[in-house]
Amino acid sequence: MAAAMNETRINRINELYGKSKNEGLTPEEKEEQAKLRAEYVAAVRANLRGTLEQISIVEPDGSITELKDKKPHKDAESLEDSRRAR
């Protein structure tokens, strides 16, 4: 599970971004930036996934489908696979 993104981590991401635009980053800072960005993206995805799992869809026949029970569209799966391959 991704670590929670607190304000300190987000501020550090922004600080590294600003420094990269102004003076450039050291290799260590670039590595830290990449790690923090990956953590941020993972936290956003986990948050979105949690939110979507709380949604119910009322089908045309009146039945209710929970989004957490629906399988991902195969295009979404292939997109996720291509991202993992990077």
Taking the chain (86 residues) in runs of 10, the rounded mean pLDDT of each run is 76 96 96 96 91 90 83 64 64
Note the pLDDT of residue 83: 62
For residue 48, the enclosing domain spans 7-84
Which CATH number covers residue 53? Answer: 1.20.58
Cβ contacts of 65 within 8 Å, gap of 6 or more: 56, 57, 59
Residue 75, in any domain of the structure? yes
b/e burial code for range 13-50 (CB count within 10 A of at least 16 → b): beebeeeeeeeeeeeeeeeebeebeebbeebeeeeeee
46 neighbors 4 (Cβ within 8 angstroms): no
Note the pLDDT of residue 63: 92
How far is residue 67 CA from its own chain's centroid?
18
Residue 32, in any domain of the structure? yes
Residue 1, in any domain of the structure? no
Q: How many domains does the chain have?
A: 1
